[in-house]
A and B are shown apart, each in its own frame.
Chain A
Amino acid sequence: MKKILSIALVLCMVLAFAVPSAFAADTVKIGMVTDVGGVNDKSFNQTSWEGLQALAAEDDTFEVAYLESKTDADYQTNINTFIDEEYDLIICVGYMLADATREAAEDNPDQLFAIIDDSSCADLPNVACLMFAQEQASYLVGLVAGSVTESKTVGYVQGMVSDSMNLFGIGFITGVQEVCPDATVLQYNANNFGDIAGGSTAAKDMITKGADVIYQAAGGTGIGVINACDEEGIWAIGVDTDQSSLAPEHVITSAMKRVDVASQDISKAVAADEFVAGVHLYDLSNGGVDLAPTRDNIPADVLELVENAKAAVIAGDVVVPTSVDDCPAFTLDD
């Protein structure tokens, strides 16, 4: 009797493994590969994934999945997993994946890719590079910081020094100096996107030196910055997503990158067979970057100033610098 039962159980298991999940023929499969920050980084990995989830929820022809990378060597493996599973589009989140994406795209010319925050693959016919004008969003929050600071000292914490990351600092400092030319901008490179305690220490150090607004572009490290600002009762500025929920009383605004919109756009393009390779720039003019929608903490006159500046950038009257040479006050690159 026991034998029959165990055989029956084994059969059940085998059947459970063997029956392939049935897919509708016109399903569009979108796979997302995170960088080592993981999918819950409260930053662009998470935003992209939320965007894809929202897309799958409203339109069930989309099937979305993500793979997390734990080490640098996982990027290639994860991309290859999606290729083997015949996904229609593979979204690689972050410039860390640029080399792995290039290699996979060259080896698999029929596979479509999108990569966020990298333009080095723009020459490939099967890669869409989703770029964000982060200096524009940072410029706007810089205007906010320069307007609300009373001590004329603001802080800036960056997660890593690189051309792409430096754009945050350059835009921010340009904004601050435009409304408050004699402001001091304390700058700190955490060299780490995951060090909450380190971010908190850096922020407290800046607060001791008189900073009353701190902007961070540092992933998880930045969460420590916001926590410290919340404890000390000064303004913090969020990045990438609307980080107001982390400290509603003290996050004055966030420099949003609509990574979710970008991921949705490119997915829809693939579904409609309208995929375009090359650089897709998301900036203020198409709503790809902006101030976060939570604006309760911003004084009305400052908000008006920011809206005017935004209009000026969109009209092309103001060009936010993108090079360290145009922003001598930015010192992290030295």
Chain B
Amino acid sequence: MTKKKGFLDFVSESTFIHILLSIILGFLVGAAFLAVMGLSVGAAYGRLLNSVTSLKGFSYVVVYSVPYIVAGLSVAFSFKTGVFNIGAEGQFVVGSMAAAVVGILCGSLPKPLLIPLCFLAAMAAGALWGIIVGFLKTKWGINEVLSMIMFNWIAFYLSNFIAGIPAIKSEGSAEATKNISSNASMLFSKDFIKSVGLCPTANWGILVAILVMLLVWFIIEKTTLGYELKAVGYNKFAAEYGGINVNRSILTALAISGALGGLAGALQLMGMGSRISIFSSQEGFGFAGIVVALIGVSNPFGVFIAGLFYGALMYGGSKLNLVGAPTQLINVIVGTVVFFIAISVIFRRLKFLKKAPKAPPKPPVSADKKEVQGT
């Protein structure tokens, strides 16, 4: 049967198409909200498109995307290995704080030494945050989702506490840490930024994000470790029967996922923020990582694209107020996209819609049957 694949078959089988459909539906729902509010859809979406397509705008998008991509990779890694890292938020926060502490206190170290040191500190802090939760899970069976949500708040208040320590706190009136040493900053030089026309916070964090993406892909797809972690993710009982130490796998998965979450925090700090404010509410990079991982269906390359998409929405969306549209529109769009991805199984059903009408031209069979019954 070399039957040509129909359009509906194509749509129902390709995950990529499901995501594309979800995104289109997200924008349609956003448009509906705009229309209900009496705002111009063209003006709002035009603004969104305009602000991310110039060179400067696109460089902003890339800068915005880096923490989302890496946080997304952190969550995607946990999805692949059967745990749900809802604690990326906390890992992000402790990671960025660890990098800030190193970046402030060891500011005299040369750049090639200080930057890796900040990364290491952030990854160690994030990994620790993941391992504690993993320990609670493997030792006493405490559900990681619960403890992670609580650990997010522990990280939040710990960060605020550290930001208030005199050696760390800004000397001015700002409710924030000092700025990290310029040796820990990943910004391009000011002259380069000006001559090319990039955004003022352009930095080489995106290269780190690409490296991390490749690394995550390599670990998951090409190593024994990745095989074991995935096996535990698919079915931990089968994995255990197959001789894999499930508890150790869970700890490893959470440690790596946590390290990535921490690294995302360091990238945000060293690329863009330069300091950490005393939070009055969670900044939500880790939670955004969950969204990015969902949109990227936990595929490292998908997560990369999804992170860019999310970054574009965040940066472009921040300008919606200029045309009178609320920035919350972005949340509506993202929420709708995630909703449709979560129920993307309905797209798979589209195939059956098509097959249903094909059923009637089968009367001969039933006629035969009747004859058989008759005799």
> Do B173 and A164 touch across chains, with their CB atoms under 8 A apart?
yes
Check B278 for interface membership: any CB of A closer than 8 A: yes
A71 within 8 A of B: yes
Q: Please tell me if the beta carbons of B280 and A73 are within 8 angstroms of each other in the complex.
A: no
Residue B315 CB within 8 A of the other chain: yes
> Digit string of A156-196 for contact with B (CB within 8 Å is 1, else 0)?
00011011100000000000000000000000000111100
Q: How far is the CA of A99 from the CA of B274 in the complex (A)?
A: 11
**Are A37 and B173 in contact, CB atoms less than 8 angstroms apart?**
no
Give the interface segment out of A62-70, A278-286, A291-299. Answer: A62-70
Is B42 at the interface (CB under 8 A from chain A)?
yes
- Surface stretch bound by A, among B318-326, B342-350, B356-364, B365-373: B318-326
With A17-B50, A77-B201, A84-B56 already in contact, the answer to whether A72 and B273 are too (CB < 8 A) is: yes
Asked if A76 is at the interface of the complex by the 8 Å CB criterion, the answer is yes
| A72-B277, A76-B200 known; A17+B318 contact, CB < 8 A | no
A73 x B172 contact (CB < 8 A): no
A72-B275 contact given A36-B281, A67-B322, A98-B173, CB 8 Å threshold: yes
Known: A72-B275, A160-B175. A77 touches B318 (CB 8 A): yes
Which of B174, B280, B318 lies in contact with A98, CB distance below 8 A? B174
Q: Are A76 and B278 in contact (CB under 8 A)?
A: no
CB-based contact A95/B173 at 8 Å: yes
Nearest CB of chain A from residue B159's CB, rounded to whole Å: 12
Contacts of B280 in A (CB 8 A): 36-37, 159-160, 192-194, 219
Task: Name the A residues within 8 Å of B272 (CB-CB).
Answer: 73
Interface centre among A16, A72, A76, A85 (most CB of B within 10 A): A72
Q: Are B60 and A77 in contact (CB under 8 A)?
A: yes
Residue of A nearest to B51 (CB): A81
With the chains together, A214 CA to B263 CA distance in Å?
Answer: 44
Most B-side CB within 10 Å, residue of A17, A162, A164: A17
- Indicate whether B43 reaches chain A with its CB closer than 8 angstroms: yes
Complex interface bits, B30-55 against A, C-beta within 8 A gives 1, otherwise 0: 00000000001011001001100000
Smallest Cβ-Cβ distance to B319: which chain A residue: A81
Find chain B residues with CB under 8 A from A70 CB: 283-284, 318
State A72–B277 Cα separation when bound (angstroms): 6
Does B199 make an interface contact (CB < 8 A)?
A: yes
Chain A residues 58-100 with CB under 8 Å of chain B are 65-68, 70-74, 76-78, 80-81, 84-85, 95-96, 98-99
List A contacts of B321 (CB < 8 A): 65-68
Smallest CB separation, A194 vs chain B (Å): 5
Of the listed residues B277, B280, B283, B284, the one surrounded by the most CB atoms of chain A closer than 10 A to its CB is: B280
Are A65 and B173 touching (Cβ within 8 A)? Answer: no
Q: How large is the interface on B (under 10, 10 to 19, 20 to 34, 35 or more residues)?
A: 35 or more
Cα–Cα distance between A96 and B277 once the two chains are bound (Å): 8
Asked if residues A65 and B281 are in contact (CB atoms below 8 Å), the reply is: no
Nearest-CB distance from B198 to chain A (Å)?
Answer: 12
Interface residues of A in 192-208 (CB under 8 A from B): 192-194
Count how many chain A residues have C-beta atoms less than 8 Å from C-beta atoms of the other chain: 38
Contacts of A85 in B (CB 8 A): 322
B173 to A118, Cβ gap below 8 A? yes
Residues in chain A near residue B49, CB distance under 8 A: 17
Q: Does A13 contact B (CB under 8 A)?
A: yes
Interface residues of B in 317-342 (CB under 8 A from A): 318-319, 321-322, 327
Say yes or no: A65 contacts B160, CB within 8 Å: no
Once bound together, how far apart are the Cα atoms of A164 and B173, in whole Å?
A: 8
Please indicate the chain A residues that have their CB under 8 angstroms from the CB of B101 in the complex.
none
CA distance A192 to B275 in the complex (A): 19
Q: How far is the CA of A162 from the CA of B173 in the complex (A)?
A: 7
What residues on A are CB-neighbors of B173 within 8 Å?
Answer: 95, 98, 118, 120, 162-164
What 1/0 mask marks residues of chain A from 97 to 121 whose CB sits below 8 Å from any chain B CB?
0110000000100000000001010
Q: Name the one of A74, A77, A162 contacting B175, with C-beta atoms under 8 angstroms.
A: A162
Q: How far is the CA of A330 from the CA of B226 in the complex (A)?
A: 58
Q: Which of A65, A66, A73, A78 contacts B268 (CB 8 A)?
A: A73
**Given A120-B172, A162-B175, A77-B268 contact (CB < 8 Å):** no
Please, which residue of chain A has its CB at the minimum distance from the CB of B170?
A99
Question: Which residues of the partner chain A approach B285 to less than 8 Å between Cβ atoms?
Answer: 71
B318 touches A13 (CB 8 A): no
Q: Contact at B42–A160, with CB atoms within 8 Å?
A: no
B276 contacts A by Cβ under 8 Å: yes
Give Cα A70–Cα B173 distance, bound, in whole angstroms.
20
- Give the distance in Å from the alpha carbon of A120 to the alpha carbon of B171 in the complex: 12
The residue in chain B whose Cβ has the minimal distance to the Cβ of A37 is B280
Instruction: Tell me if B25 counts as interface (CB < 8 A to partner A).
Output: no
Q: Which residues of A contact B277 (CB under 8 A)?
A: 36, 71-72, 96
CB distance from A9 to the nearest CB of B (A): 11
The answer to whether A17 touches B42, judged by C-beta atoms less than 8 angstroms apart, is yes
B273-298 near A? 1/0 per residue, CB < 8 Å: 10111101101110000000000000
Given contacts A13-B42, A160-B175, A162-B173, contact A72 B276 (CB under 8 A): yes
Query: Can you name the residue of chain B whose Cβ is closest to the Cβ of A72?
Result: B277
Q: Is the CB of A96 within 8 A of B273?
A: no
In the assembled complex, which residues on chain B have CB atoms less than 8 Å from the CB atom of A77?
A: 60, 199, 201, 315, 318
Are the C-beta atoms of B42 and A73 separated by less than 8 Å? no
Name the B residues within 8 Å of A72 (CB-CB): 176, 273, 275-277, 283
By a CB distance below 8 angstroms, the chain B residues around A163 are 173
Q: Are B283 and A71 in contact (CB under 8 A)?
A: yes
- A16 partner, pick from B46, B201, B273, beta carbons under 8 A: B46
Q: Across the interface, which residues of B come within 8 angstroms of A162, CB to CB?
A: 173, 175
A73 and B273: CB pair below 8 A?
yes
User: Do B283 and A17 have beta carbons less than 8 Å apart?
Assistant: no
- Given A68-B327, A162-B175, check contact A74 B318 (CB 8 Å): yes
Which 7 residue pairs spanning A and B have beta carbons closest together? A16-B42, A72-B277, A17-B46, A73-B273, A193-B280, A71-B283, A73-B272
What are 9 sample pairs from A and B whose C-beta atoms fall under 8 A apart? A66-B321, A77-B60, A80-B200, A95-B175, A96-B277, A99-B174, A160-B175, A194-B280, A194-B281
B residues lining the A interface (CB < 8 Å): 40, 42-43, 46, 49-50, 56, 60, 160, 170, 172-176, 179, 199-201, 268, 272-273, 275-278, 280-281, 283-285, 315, 318-319, 321-322, 327
Other contacts beyond A17-B49, A65-B321, A162-B175: 14, CB < 8 A: A67-B318, A71-B273, A72-B276, A72-B277, A73-B268, A77-B315, A81-B319, A96-B176, A98-B173, A99-B172, A163-B173, A191-B278, A192-B280, A219-B280
